[in-house]
Amino acid sequence: MILGSPRAPFLDDLKTGDELSELVYDVTQECVDAYGMASLDLNPVHMDPQWAARAQVFGFPETVAHGMMSMSYAASLVLRAFGASARITAVESTFTKPVPVGSTVTVRGEVRDTHPIGDGKDFAVIRAIATDQHGDTISVNEIHLQLPRRPADQQ
Amino acid sequence: MAVSASNAERLTALARTTKQREYARDFVATWRDHVTWDRAPMREAVRLPGEFIVEEEDVLAYNLALGETDPLLVDPEYARVHAPGGTVVVHPLFTTSIGFWLAAPGTPLSWTRTPGARNPFQRVVIREPIKIGDRLSLTVENTDRYIRRGKHYLSAHVVMSDQRGAVKAESWATLILPANHDEARAFATALNDTRP
């Protein structure tokens, strides 16, 4: 099943391996600037091309996208599949490759597992992998999404 | 030298919200007041001074920066009618803005602003959704520092509470940092390096 509907399904509707509609974004200095101002992370490695060219924190002269931007897009992938009000309860991300301005990132996600633990705390784990235009993984993300069970009268 | 004059002007022009205009935008200029890896106070929970009052414009800036188009995230009028709380929905990673706002120079979390820092991994747990109007504060404990493959990691546990004292979110933040004051200075003064 491809999850692209804005309506959040019930936990019972999900199966391991269900995919989310992918999300693609271009990493331009303009979008890094917008994210930097919004997040208030104005580190010059993101926000100052002249400084980045001199400091070469990652061994190349370009500014790079924020790791938290990559993490946020992984969460956005889930919001777009399950609806803006979807109840994300945890996000864990590992950043595996810096993302210089000029990159194109694709985020793909799938249901890794479901947790029907009851007491209104049922959740699914979405694993989202972001890759760059070379196919290299830039971040690995796990998002916990609280979802209701299907009511008995709708079984 | 702080950020180049042209970049300072660029950042000034980019500032749209009240917080963005009031914020100390030059992370290079304040580098001496960022706690360094080797001097970070450890295992001591400290409530950071100040609070972050969540305004609609802050939330909109975050959601729009991520290219969101769902009216629940970007259209206040639509959200007033259709959103659960009658306001635009706050992105779950909006916690980032709150962290940076409160991680002022001199505080135990100021290392997050260090020029030359790299981000290896992060974990955020949202206990309750953040809402517009929340008055949020942070309690920070630097929990670990370690060296792995020659890189210097610093980790903190950050607890975000609202005006009622309810915990809204927790995060486990880690960065790779310059090892000490001298390494931090080398990054901070990169623009002074006249080599081609």
Tell me, what's the ipTM? 0.96
Using the predicted structure, report yes or no on whether residue A6 has a pLDDT greater than 70.
no
Residue B66 located in a structural domain: no
**What is the nearest CA distance from B11 to chain A, expressed in angstroms?**
8
CA B155 from centroid of its chain's CA atoms: 14
pLDDT at A150: 87
**Strands B151-161 and B135-148, bridge-based pairing:** antiparallel
Residue A57 located in a structural domain: no
List the Cα angle B37/B40/B41 in 5-degree steps.
160
Q: What is the DSSP string of A85-106?
A: T-EEEEEEEEE-S--BTT-EEE
DSSP-assigned letter for residue B147: E
Question: In whole angstroms, what is the distance from residue A54 CA to residue B41 CA?
Answer: 31
Question: In whole angstroms, what is the distance from residue A80 CA to residue A86 CA?
Answer: 9
For range A118-128, the mean pLDDT: 95
pLDDT at B196: 46
CB-CB contact of B106 with B33 (8 Å): yes
Confidence bin at A153 (pLDDT 50/70/90): confident
* Residue A129 belongs to domain spanning: 2-28+64-154
Question: CB under 8 Å to A101, separation ≥6 — which residues?
Answer: A27, A28, A29, A32, A49, A62, A63, A64, A65
Contact A39/B96, CB-based, under 8 Å?
yes
Contact A93/B14, CB-based, under 8 Å?
no
Q: What are phi and psi of A121, to 5 degrees?
A: -115, 20
> How many domains is chain B partitioned into structurally?
1
pLDDT in tens, B130-154: 999 999 999 999 999 999 999 999 9
Angle between helices A29-39 and A67-82 (to 10 degrees): 90
**What is the nearest CA distance from B45 to chain A, expressed in angstroms?**
22
* Residue B50 belongs to domain spanning: 5-54+90-192
Using the predicted structure, report yes or no on whether residue A87 has a pLDDT greater than 50.
yes
Residue A89: which of B114, B120, B126 has the nearest Cβ?
A: B126
For range A16-34, the mean pLDDT: 97
Using the predicted structure, report yes or no on whether residue B5 has a pLDDT greater than 90.
no
Residue A54 located in a structural domain: no
pLDDT in tens, B71-111: 999 999 999 999 989 999 999 999 999 999 999 999 999 99
Confidence bin at B19 (pLDDT 50/70/90): very high
**What is the nearest CA distance from B186 to chain A, expressed in angstroms?**
8
- CATH number of B156's domain: 3.10.129.10
Question: In whole angstroms, what is the distance from residue A93 CA to residue B172 CA?
Answer: 11
> How many domains is chain A partitioned into structurally?
1
Residue A56 located in a structural domain: no
- CATH number of A72's domain: 3.10.129.10
pLDDT at A1: 63
Sign (positive or negative) of CA dihedral A71, A76, A82, A88: positive
pLDDT at A7: 58
Contact A93/B187, CB-based, under 8 Å?
no
DSSP-assigned letter for residue B92: G
Residue B128 located in a structural domain: yes
3-state secondary structure of A23: strand
Considering only CA atoms, which of B22, B40, B54, B36 is closest in space to residue B137? B54
pLDDT at B194: 57
Q: Give chain B positions within 8 Å (CB) of A123.
A: none
Radius of gyration over alpha carbons of chain A, in Å?
18
Question: In whole angstroms, what is the distance from residue A110 CA to residue A74 CA?
Answer: 11
CB-CB contact of B187 with B115 (8 Å): yes
Residue A50 located in a structural domain: no
pLDDT in tens, A39-73: 999 999 999 999 999 999 999 999 999 999 999 99
Question: In whole angstroms, what is the distance from residue B140 CA to residue B103 CA?
Answer: 10
Residue B40 located in a structural domain: yes
For range B188-195, the mean pLDDT: 78
